[in-house]
Amino acid sequence: MNVGPTTPLLPANEAAVAAAARCLVAGGLVAFPTETVYGLGADATNPAAIARLYAAKGRPAFNPLIAHVGDLVAAMRIARFDAQATALAQVFWPGPLTLVLPRTKDCAVADLATAGLDTIAIRVPADPVARAILRAFGGPVVAPSANLSGHVSPTSAAHVQSDLAGRIDLIIDGGAVEVGVESTIVGCFEAPMLLRAGGLPREEIERVLGRRLVQPPDDTSDNGQPLAPGMLAAHYAPRTPVRLNAGRLEAGEALLAFGSVLVPGADTATMILNLSPQSNLAEAAANLFGYLRLLDTTGARGIAVMPVPQHGLGEAINDRLRRAAMGRE
């Protein structure tokens, strides 16, 4: 594979989709847009490609990947669906929902991609470019977010370039993503479990299930393994210290605002970015990672973040903000 100091970037069109599919067939690594965040795709059945993918991201291989497929029929070849999982897939796919399910016996996805677990995470993305690439390739594609491990997820092709240029084979530029936070992950266990808050609000899932999603027991299961192994505390972290629920601004801080009424001291901010002046949570989610990246480049002493309501997409936004505030190991 030809990985030079830079990586070719193609605007999303038919030729780019064909090039992406060829690259995946050849064992290459292709970044492409999904409706949540940009993903870094590899052939899910090719262990060598998956090993390169972990290396390119600097991601520990005990952290399993999400398999992306074109539809429910393709998903059923690699995982066993019970009635609840089928109901969720029928209502929310394609879309920002990932289901964790038991692998089928003849599941073609490489063990390396699922970190040896007997479950597999699957999603059917809604973004038309992602769908076209999956159709052209014709098999499952594993795709973590296309950032260096530990950075915030990319919501534009430029973010992918700044993290991974020279480390991967191809970037498909489909413009800014629509949702802006990663998919919601539901573990389809006896009691369905919210493994990661994300782009599909919990309330919508609970309405379809007719029951509450249970919370993972303190991020660890019985055997001490994290249930969603990637959800280690400090994960979505900028380099600049992040201070949550700021009631006023301190000297030298930049402000990540929400709503029309700014906190006292805002006039002294080194820079202000407002997630949503109209207090719209969908708009705030779409802006979140891009604004964190921008504020991280200004040399501010810290990033003060105004409170964001906890309902709907606010649960995912606050989850990512908490992780950003825990800083980097």
Residues 44 and 226: their CA atoms lie apart, in Å, by 22
DSSP string, 57-114: HT--TTS--EEE-SSHHHHHHHB---HHHHHHHHHH-SSSEEEEEEBPTT--S-GGGG
The least CB distance from residue 145 to ligand TXA, in Å, is 4
Closest C-alpha to 216, from 233, 234, 193: 193
- Beta bridge mates, 170: 30
Tokens describing residue 307: 């409170």
Residues 241 and 249: their CA atoms lie apart, in Å, by 14
The least CB distance from residue 61 to Mg ion, in Å, is 14
Interface positions, 131-160, toward Mg ion (CB under 5 A): 145
Q: Would you say 121 or 246 has its CB closer to ligand TXA?
A: 121
Interface positions, 70-99, toward ligand TXA (CB under 6 A): 98
What is the largest distance, in Å, between two alpha-carbon atoms of the chain? 61
Interface positions, 33-72, toward ligand TXA (CB under 6 A): 34, 36-37, 39, 63-66
Residues 137 and 23: their CA atoms lie apart, in Å, by 9
Closest C-alpha to 296, from 147, 177, 172: 147
The least CB distance from residue 235 to ligand TXA, in Å, is 8
Residue 312, classed as helix, strand or coil, is: coil
In this structure, what are the phi and psi dihedrals at residue 172, rounded to the nearest 5 degrees?
-100, 125
Confirm or reject binding of residue 134 to ligand TXA (CB under 6 A): no
Contact with ligand TXA (CB under 6 A) among 12, 29, 121, 316: 121
Number of residues that bind ligand TXA (CB under 6 A): 28
The least CB distance from residue 320 to ligand TXA, in Å, is 11
143 binds, among ligand TXA, Mg ion, none (CB under 5 to 8 A by kind): ligand TXA
The least CB distance from residue 60 to ligand TXA, in Å, is 10
Q: Would you say 123 or 306 has its CB closer to ligand TXA?
A: 123
Residues 160 and 328: their CA atoms lie apart, in Å, by 20
Judged by CB under 6 A, the stretch of 142-150, 240-248, 263-271, 278-286 that binds ligand TXA is 142-150
Strands (E), the chain: 9-11, 30-32, 39-43, 66-68, 97-102, 119-123, 141-142, 170-173, 184-187, 193-196, 242-243, 253-257, 272-274, 302-305
Confirm or reject binding of residue 141 to ligand TXA (CB under 6 A): no
Cα angle for residues 303, 307, 313 (degrees, 5° grid): 105
Q: Would you say 33 or 302 has its CB closer to ligand TXA?
A: 33
Q: Would you say 145 or 276 has its CB closer to Mg ion?
A: 145
Q: Would you say 181 or 304 has its CB closer to ligand TXA?
A: 181
Residues 222 and 292: their CA atoms lie apart, in Å, by 35
184 binds, among Mg ion, ligand TXA, none (CB under 5 to 8 A by kind): none
- Axis crossing angle, helix 157-164 with helix 281-295, rounded to the nearest 10: 30
Confirm or reject binding of residue 155 to ligand TXA (CB under 6 A): no
Interface positions, 181-200, toward ligand TXA (CB under 6 A): 182-183, 185, 195
Confirm or reject binding of residue 171 to ligand TXA (CB under 6 A): no
Q: Would you say 176 or 231 has its CB closer to ligand TXA?
A: 231
Site mask for ligand TXA (CB under 6 A), range 290-319, x = bound: ------------------------------
- Beta bridge mates, 42: 142
Contact set with ligand TXA (CB under 6 A) = 34, 36-37, 39, 63-66, 98, 100, 114, 117, 119-121, 123, 143-145, 182-183, 185, 195, 227-231
Contact set with Mg ion (CB under 5 A) = 145
